[in-house]
Structure 1
Amino acid sequence: MNIRPLQSAVVAAATAFALIFIPIHQLTGQSPSPVPLTLLSKDGRRALAITLVNGQQFVSLDELAAVFQLAVREGSVGALTVSYKGRTIVLTPDQARASVAGRVISLPAPPARSGGRWLVPVDFVGGALGLIYDVRLDLRKASHLLVVGDLRVPQVTARYLAVSGGGRLTIDAAPRARSTVTSEGNERLTIKFDADALDLSPPLPSSTGSQGLVLGIRVVDGTTLTVDLGPRVVEVRASAQPIETAERVTIDLRVAQPETPPPAPPAAPAPATPASPPSLGQLISPTRTLATVVLDAGHGGEDLGVRSAGGTLEKDLALAVALVLKSAIEGRLGARVLLTRDDDRQMSIDDRASFANNNKADLFISLHANGSFKTTTSGASIYYAAFDGDAKATGSTSPAERVSVATGGVRDIELVAWNRAQTRHLSRSMAFASLLAEQFRDRVPLESRAVRRTPLRVLQSTNMPAVLIEMGFLSNPDQEMQLANSDFQNTFVQAIGDAIVRFRDGPPAGGTR
């Protein structure tokens, strides 16, 4: 097929795409002109003018004939015959149907005569004409698109969710079209899809409202989206992965969190002499026994986590280290060590936290690997929970309830809102995070600010001291090789084990370390 591209048509089509976010009638207050039907084929794109007749969308039959090389003949009794390579369609001006090789096809309205030319409903193209044409005609009325042939034109949808400490923007392309995400610092993201064009129906959200983390989503060309980010964004993490028959791009945005200390215990009577500030050791009350430790290997199943340029997956690395760490803790401390997952399967965040809570864990460690758009960024970091203000961090509990335990029997638990379970353990979680950083130092590369507070749901929901460890950056080729090395993994595990022993034993007699 040879579709003759017209410069004016291309401009019209491009204009139609640009206005998909802000329809012109919203700017002028006038009734909008009908959006043209954009035809996409291997020969390019062009626009087919739309005429409204009694609220129905019509297209010129003469224009269709020119584009698709059709022969149109008007009979003496008013019937219209449309032919293509010996196959015909018969239309009758006063009837809302077409005859295609003896088969009757319903139309929303009969053909109409306007200014000496015949008009047919837009549905004629995807219905009757599609039955006689030799390549696929995919009419997408909601998108004002007509896809001719086997082009890759995925439908792209986006949704935004405000979460504690930031937001998450999820963009899906279905059917799947591989994507490449690049970043310009924390100001802008570019998402390039391996497709011939994009179907943007319904229109993508232009912003995220009052939160102001996403200022706009724009179409740069036919297959590239640009996401403009607000000035409050201090960290961006993006990943792409297949979800059933779609490609999903997940963009996590974090905002700066105030460096507030954990809730203070009830005030003690004033000492007779000024007291020194508490040391790290004083924050660690002796535990002496750690009966149960839960290790959480991040991601899993279809949730790949970070994917390195060399093909290493965060979900695989996290599980490999968790298995080694499990054996090390069992052998060294004699504790019961449970894994939230011991194979490649997906678990929700709430299920991970519930697993630790129901098994009455004394310590929770979640293992992850980081990613950055800068390939030079490196170093491990340790997170403990943060909350949106002191009000949430000092929430109350409800009466106890008797529940089943995964290992059998029952136990009484206090009913605590999922985002408040961690509040009573914040001081000890902070202490354990600091111990980990101390043990990693000189053994494991650390980020400049190794210990951080962040409102991660899996940490907020756990009812025991809990940390999340980002072991390093898979986006850094050198660190990817390091993290995949078994000797380095053993060093990493040894450092975690030393921190756990310190945490269990508390400060030695006569000292703070």
Structure 2
Amino acid sequence: MRDDALAGGVTVSYKGRTIVASADQPMASVNGRVVTLPAAMARVGRRLFVPVDFIARAVAPIYDTPIDLRRASRLLIVGNIRVARVTTRIDAVGPPTRATIEVTPALLVSQAADAGRVLVRVEADVIDPAPPPAPAGLIDQIQTGTQTTTVAIALNARAGTPRVSTTTTTESTRVTIEVPLAAPSQDTSTAPPPPALPALPAPTGPAPPALPALSGPKLQTMVIDPGHGGDDNGVRGPKGTLEKQVALEVARKLKTLIETRLGVRVVMTRDEDRSVSPDERDAIANNSKADLFLSLHANGAPSADVKGTEVYYLRLDRAGEEARRSTAATELVLPVISGGTRPIDVIPWDLAQAAHVDASSRFASMLEEELEKRGPMGPRPLQQAPMRVLSGANMPAALVEIGYLTSADQERSIQSADVQGGLVQGIYDAIVRFRAFLESPPSQ
């Protein structure tokens, strides 16, 4: 940018394209074409002030990245980011009070509800909210804002636990909220006290031995591993889509869905674009005491015709098979403070998966079955392979190749909210099934 004495204003240059703005006239020349502005440029000291429309009318035509100015929302959108238009309305005052949140375009949403509020989070980079309606019925306040992607609905003291449902069309996602009255509390202050129970006779003989606590495996913590990252881009599609980006997008959506609906703690091996080695990924899972490990990737092939989702679990080599057979026998018996001893399994770090291959096979099969319901599968939908990132995971583990980026069709589709939402839902359904399998009591 430089002063232009001839025009009495400034000249802005960008990659051979120019804007000439005058300090006297409400107009500017953009690459030789005159555009009008609401007001002239103003100079205050060393600063220049231009009307907001200068961005859309003058800067946007010469810039090589899309610029969208939304005055009503005070949003300036630069680049191809996910912007959700969010409209909230109250359909019935009730009770029950019914409200609808409409998200355009169709995007994945997650919700949490209790007796005091409803939170709806939209999987977008930013939301463009319409002004919320005035409070009515059992709803005290509706808050939306561009600084967060969450719509918060505060309920009043008479509200019961709300019911929330979500429907998705090709154009939008609709969240319907129904808020009933809280159930009346029963007044027991005047009720007569229950009759006293007769005293039980004192036990005779020695006390029976205490029963051991039943503590089977549970799904309390899960690790999601978005593949690659940092300098490691992974597969690159014909249009430049990177595996590391797609894996992270899907991982974030899956994390939100699991935490919201299952209440399971989710740990990510990376939540940003950074390098993480296979050993670090396994260490994060093992040190987090995770009960399940899932690695997310996108595939590539020499032929652009190959497409579809594929699921992998670990194939053991000879050393791994020997470790698997000898896991129970390879123990250290250590004393504990309270007396007695405790057996500790000893197995090399890089063979930790050997003890979990059967459970990993079950989890991988469930993933393959659920993902097949959601979209096309690859030539070999369920495979075993000696994958380094799985070998050191000391818990059931699987890897999902969500699609082939080398297929132009799949590179395009895999970036859509609908396709990613289907993948996330399929993986989520498999996790629900595996949790039921993991926590079911053993057959007698």
| TM-score, normalised by the number of residues in structure 1 | 0.40
| TM-score, normalised by the number of residues in structure 2 | 0.46
Q: Which has the larger radius of gyration?
A: 1
